Amino acid sequence: MKWVKDYIGIPFRFQGRDRRGLDCYGLVVLVYREQLGIELPDYITRYGPEPTRYTLEDTYRTALLDPRWTLQNRPRIGDVVLLRVFGLPIHCGVFVGQHTMLNTRIDVASCLERLDGFQWRDRVVGYFRYEE
């Protein structure tokens, strides 16, 4: 998993989709593009320039209706982990194994975080895999 270190430290930026800055889904888009050769739908226009928790929830719920996203019983490296914040499924990261995800959020540049730690352990909605 040498590739993971290449994504640590990228700054947070709303609607960011490149190395100048990323939001949580932008990190997923970049990893899928560079590591898996998959161009994911970008969804920026769905949640607008100043997303709220409700526009984000609607965006994720709509995206998961796409049959190319499938819920996984056993995650593997590269799967997207969907997480609840404020009780809503509005955050995501990239599963990198051993209860760890590659993640970015408003107050933190992209980093590794434990999914079994206090902050995230009760917030995992599920792991999803995108298959073309």
**pLDDT tens digits, residue range 16-75?**
899 999 999 999 999 999 999 999 887 766 666 666 676 777 777 777 778 889 999 999
Distance, CA of 44 to CA of 42 (rounded, Å): 6
Query: Do 31 and 40 meet the contact criterion of CB atoms below 8 Å apart?
Result: no
**Structural domain count, the chain:** 1
Q: Tell me the chain's radius of gyration from C-alpha atoms.
A: 13
Degrees to nearest 5, angle at CA 42 with 60 and 81: 45
CATH number for the domain spanning 114: value is 3.90.1720.10
Answer positive or negative: Cα dihedral of 124, 95, 76, 132: positive
Residue type, 84: R
Domain that holds residue 16: 2-130
On whether the pTM is more than 0.85, the answer is yes
